[in-house]
Amino acid sequence: MIDTQDHLMPDGRRIAFRFTPAAKGNPAPTLVFLPGYMSDMAGGKAQAVFARAAATGRGCLLLDYSGCGESSGLFADGTLSLWREEVLALIETCCPGPVILAGSSMGGWLMLLAGLELGAKDSGRLAGLVGIAAAPDFTDWGYTEEQKADLSAGRPIYEDNPYGPEPTPTHPGFWRDGQASRLLDAEIAIDCPVRLIHGQADPDVPWQTSLRLAEALRSADVQVHLIKDGDHRLSREADIALLLATIDRLYG
C-alpha cells in the first residue's frame, strides 16, 4: 500500500495524493487519474488504475481536489480553475516526464483543461488522454434554465443524488467558473491520442457528449468506445477491464 501524502499549495491548501513512481529505467508516461464531481481517489476506477500501474512498473498519480476526500478546504469553494491549478501543481511535483491524463465525468473536463495547459507549455508532456463518461461543459447543458437563473443570482442548488444519501450541491462560484471554461463550441487544441469510453445508458452525461468532444478535438487520433448497457459510473468488472485494456493499448 502506497501511503497518502500531502502537497501544500502556496495559499496553504493541503492536497492529498498517492504516487507510485515508474520502475527504474521504465520511460513510460505517468498516468494521472482525475476523479469526478464530489468523488476522490478512493473510488474503484482510481484504485484499479493505480494497482495496474504498480503491477506493470508504470508511474501513477492519484489526488483529491481541495474540499474533497482527504484534502483540506470546503467543497463550496471549489472550481474547475482551482482544481486545475492543483492538478498541474501535483504533475509538476511528481511527474517530470510525459503524462497520460485519465478523467472520469467532471474529471474528463479537467483532463482537457489541464491537457491544454500542459500541451501549450511543452507538446511532448501530453502523451494521451482517456475520458470515462467525460462531461465537458456540463454547467451549460446539465441544468435547467430555472437552475441557471438561481446560480446566476448567487443561489446554490441541490439535486437528488442517486449515489449517496445527501443531495448533490452546485455552488454559484463553481457554475460561473464552469461557464467561463466551456470548450465544446470551438476547436480544442490537443493533438495527442485520445480514447473516450461512454455508456449509452448513462442517465447523467449523454453519450453524444463524447461524440461532440471527438469532433471538437484537433487530434486525428481519437477513438470513441460506446457501451450499450453502460451506466454513468462504468464501475462494473467488465467496464474496469475495458478501461485498463484501453490504457494498456495507449502504452503500446
Judge contact between 171 and 106, C-beta under 8 A. no
Provide the edge-to-edge strand list for the sheet that holds 60-63. Answer: 5-8, 14-20, 60-63, 30-34, 99-104, 126-132, 194-199, 222-227
Pairing relationship of beta strands 99-104 and 14-20 according to DSSP bridges = unpaired
The catalytic residue positions are: 105, 202, 232
CA atoms within 13 A on the CB side of 53: 29
Cβ neighbours for 119, distance < 8 A, ≥ 6 positions apart: 125, 126, 189, 190, 191, 192
Q: Which of 14, 243, 252 is nearest to 130 (CA)?
A: 243
Judge contact between 16 and 89, C-beta under 8 A. no
The gap from C-alpha 168 to its chain's centroid, in whole angstroms, comes to: 18
Q: C-alpha cell of 76? A: 463550496
Judge contact between 75 and 106, C-beta under 8 A. no
d(CA 166, CA 249): 38
Q: C-alpha cell of 47? A: 484504485
